[in-house]
Structure 1
Amino acid sequence: MAAEKKIDYDAPATKVMSPSRLAHVVLRTNKFRAMVEFYTAFLGAEVVHANDFLAFITYDDEHHRIALVAMPDTQDRNVNSCGLEHIAFTFDSLSDLLLSYRQRKRQRGGSNIEPVWCVNHGPTTSIYYKDPDGNMLETQVDNFDTSEAATEFMESKEFAENPIGVDFDPEDYIRRLSSGGTTESELKKRVEIGPRGIPQL
């Protein structure tokens, strides 16, 4: 058995130790059953444990990524209040992102999950959705091969001019990729349109 690393808890540090990863998000809801159904469908996930007021949901090797809790007297979400704006989930490729978009549209016996916004931010190509409570969810693919290249773009004049991005039609992207007329790399390169404000979603 390997010896445990001895740590000097009083050693001076220039910053707090960062976590190794983000583990999960817990959402309070007054639409418990609808939210459980939505997140299992949206993420292609499974419920690890649930009762009348708690559900733990995962889609990978973590024991849970999303937890839902039905708290008494929970009010509907106020879209104008402070709080979490959205949760983002990353896919490995643009094709995977578009496949998941299509699968969401065609699942649950015709009860489609439709996006509310499709945008190339520059660093990512992203498709946004809303859950039954109105929480925003982003599905994305990185547009650059390295985080350094993405950071370089975010420090550019073009990103400073338009940090919001350029809208796109996922059905058009699917047609273009399926026909072989373009590549993922070409579609992920943002078209510059100049300044733009925050959309009202």
Structure 2
Amino acid sequence: MTTESKPNKVLSPKHLAHVVLQTPEVSTMAKFYKTFLGAEASFENDSIAFLTYDEEHHRVAIIGMPGLPGKVEKSAGLHHIAFTYTTLSDLFTAYKQRKALGILPVWCTNHGVTTSIYYRDPDGNRLETQVDNFDTNEETTAFLTGPEMRENPLGVDFDPEDLIRKLESGVPEAEIKKRPNIGPRGIEDIPAH
């Protein structure tokens, strides 16, 4: 009997390439994501749309599946898709642009590792826009393994308009991104958004 050595770890991919959503309403969803992401269609017809906002040929694809039932909120599966911005200023610029287009957030929280603004698409899928709160992976790991994260893995909610005023008044981004300590808060406290 021969023994094969089992690998300790599968070779990781280079990066996450794209997300594909199925919907009964391709045109509605494609229009939303083009607006939400500042994206354009690399291909689009009545049943499918490939959308891009960077160097990748498509980051989000929308597939039409006529007759699909609506989203079941309390079911296993994908919770949200997250998109990262480079700076807090960029995150808030996109927030203000979306707000001007009638796209409003459903939840804003400082997770500690990120400052995040959540939205919903027309089908009810959650979308997170975020900025990293630390400059290095070491700082991020230290927060994730530290006592504040154990006490409150969820975050501290905020009003984006308050943080925008602070930013515009000259408060440094690093200070605004520092999560306040509010004591214990757990996953059970995630708002129904």
RMSD, matched Cα: 1.3
Find the counterpart in structure 2 of residue 155 from structure 1.
145
AA partner of residue 198 (structure 1): I
How high is the TM-score relative to the length of structure 1? 0.90
Find the counterpart in structure 1 of residue 172 from structure 2.
183
Specify which of 66, 78, 82 is matched with residue 76 of structure 2.
Answer: 82
1:70: Cα distance to partner?
Answer: 0.7
Query: What is the CA deviation profile of residues 131-172 of structure 1, one whole-angstrom value per residue up to 9, with x for unaligned ones?
Result: 000000000000001112111101111111100000111111
Percent identity, aligned pairs only? 58
Find the counterpart in structure 2 of residue 199 from structure 1.
191
Aligned length: 187
Specify which of 51, 54, 58 is matched with residue 48 of structure 2.
Answer: 54
SS of the residue corresponding to residue 129 of structure 2 reads strand
Query: What is the CA deviation profile of residues 33-68 of structure 1, one whole-angstrom value per residue up to 9, with x for unaligned ones?
Result: 110110000000001111111000000000000000
Given that residues 23 and 66 in structure 2 are in contact (C-alpha distance below 8 angstroms), is that contact kept between their aligned partners in structure 1? Answer: no
Find the counterpart in structure 1 of residue 14 from structure 2.
20
SS of the residue corresponding to residue 104 of structure 1 reads helix
Query: What is the CA deviation profile of residues 1-57 of structure 1, one whole-angstrom value per residue up to 9, with x for unaligned ones?
Result: xxxxxxxxx996321100000000000001221101100000000011111110000
How high is the TM-score relative to the length of structure 2? 0.93
In the alignment, structure 1 residue 37 sits paired with structure 2 residue 31 = yes
AA partner of residue 194 (structure 1): G
Could you list the runs of 5+ residues in structure 2 that have no partner in the other structure?
A: none
